[in-house]
């Protein structure tokens, strides 16, 4: 029990302040903040030592034990980041710690490169999607918007009708850490949204519906599973063999822009990545394209 454990009581006190720092100063989301604090609690359940008794060797030992359990390197890397963030916070709060951050080894792992469709496959999928009834109009608009803007599934779910700026041809999305960004809409996408609002969304509205842009059959906001079902049904109906998920549209958006020569920094801004290193995984998604372009363009053929 926490109330009978002075170590855990002290930890809870510091974690509350740490969470406030992550939310207000670092701009992290509630979900990410909970993950960080959960990681830290698990660490102290393993060691049963006071916060300021923990040293560098303890953290290294803990990460090594996690590795032995077969935990995914990406998960171990996050737990490492959680602990370093916590002790960095304590150090910045003028607390005396025994951690040498540069001696904690980074976690190396191979990236799983995103599943993408080629430009031809994506356009074929979208062009074949029917628009013969309100449900198909809505579903096609969702898939087209995911590919047109590269927004995250959670960002699309939370869109409202007020996020569409028709005159400016922009759409406002709220990403991780409640950071907002404006994304461009081309004529085709804007016309499709207007068509959906006029001919499809109105059929899903109920007296309890709010201003959510995309409504499910109950007149409410979609869940992530609800969107996944739309994509899954598309796979079945069109006989697509490649793995496909809602995120495939975001990955394909980024890859196709990169193939077209768009600067990586612009793609970073469009995707809402806080770090360019996250965006750089797309530089490895289509080596075939790079090889072909090199062969086509280099003067020493």
Is 251 annotated as catalytic? no
Q: Residues 221, 177: contact at Cβ < 8 Å?
A: no
How does residue 107 score in pLDDT terms, banded at 50, 70 and 90? confident
Q: Out of 138, 250, 251, 256, which one is annotated catalytic? A: 250
pLDDT the model gives residue 65: 85
* CA dist., res. 301 & res. 295, Å (int): 6
Q: What is the mean pLDDT of residues 277-286?
A: 63
Helix axes 119-128, 246-259, angle to 10 degrees: 130
pLDDT the model gives residue 284: 57
Q: Give the angle 22-23-24 at the CA atoms, nearest 5°.
A: 100
CATH superfamily entry for domain 119-295: Intergrase catalytic core (1.10.443.10)
How does residue 108 score in pLDDT terms, banded at 50, 70 and 90? low
pLDDT the model gives residue 1: 40
Is 48 annotated as catalytic? no
Q: How far apart are the two ends of the chain, measured CA to CA in Å?
A: 72
Q: Give the angle 136-141-143 at the CA atoms, nearest 5°.
A: 95
Identify the three-state secondary structure at position 182. Answer: strand
Is 112 annotated as catalytic? no
Q: What is the mean pLDDT of residues 230-235?
A: 85
* Domain spans of the chain, in order of start: 2-103, 119-295
Do the domains spanning 2-103 and 119-295 agree at the CATH topology level? Answer: no
Is 273 annotated as catalytic? yes
Is 250 annotated as catalytic? yes
What rounded mean pLDDT belongs to the chain?
A: 85
How does residue 29 score in pLDDT terms, banded at 50, 70 and 90? confident
CA distances from 179 to 76, 110, 151, 247 (A): 26, 29, 13, 19
Q: Out of 14, 176, 181, 229, which one is annotated catalytic? A: 176
How does residue 74 score in pLDDT terms, banded at 50, 70 and 90? confident
Is 256 annotated as catalytic? no
Residue-wise pLDDT tens digits, 247-274: 889 989 998 998 888 888 888 889 988 7
More confident residue, 262 or 69: 262
- Say if domain 2-103 classifies as CATH 1.10.150.130: yes
* CA dist., res. 205 & res. 209, Å (int): 6
């Amino acid at each position: 029990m926490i109330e009978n454990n002075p170590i855990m009581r002290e930890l809870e006190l510091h974690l509350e302040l740490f969470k406030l720092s992550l939310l207000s100063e670092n701009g992290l989301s509630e979900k990410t903040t909970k993950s960080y604090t959960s990681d830290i609690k698990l660490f102290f359940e393993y060691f049963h030592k006071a916060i300021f008794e923990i040293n560098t060797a303890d953290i290294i030992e803990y990460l090594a034990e996690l590795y032995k359990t077969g935990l995914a390197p990406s998960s171990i890397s996050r737990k490492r980041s959680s602990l370093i963030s916590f002790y960095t916070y304590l150090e910045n709060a003028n607390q005396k710690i025994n951690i040498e951050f540069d001696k904690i080894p980074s976690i190396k792992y191979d990236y799983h490169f995103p599943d993408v469709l080629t430009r031809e496959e994506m356009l074929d999928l979208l062009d074949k999607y029917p628009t013969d009834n309100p449900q198909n109009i809505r579903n096609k608009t969702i898939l087209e918007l995911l590919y047109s803007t590269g927004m995250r599934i959670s960002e699309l779910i939370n869109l409202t009708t007020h996020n569409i700026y028709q005159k400016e041809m922009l759409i406002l999305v709220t990403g991780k850490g409640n950071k907002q960004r404006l994304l461009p809409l081309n004529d085709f996408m804007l016309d499709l949204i207007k068509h959906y609002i006029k001919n499809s969304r109105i059929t899903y509205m109920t007296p309890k519906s709010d201003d959510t842009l995309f409504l499910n059959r109950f007149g409410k906001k979609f869940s992530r599973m609800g969107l996944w079902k739309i994509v899954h049904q598309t796979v079945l109906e069109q006989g697509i063999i490649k793995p496909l998920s809602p995120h495939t549209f975001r990955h394909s958006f980024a890859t196709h822009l990169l193939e077209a020569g768009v600067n990586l920094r612009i793609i970073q801004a469009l995707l809402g990545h806080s770090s360019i290193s996250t965006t750089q995984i797309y530089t490895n998604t289509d080596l075939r394209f790079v090889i072909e372009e090199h062969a086509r363009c280099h003067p020493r053929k």
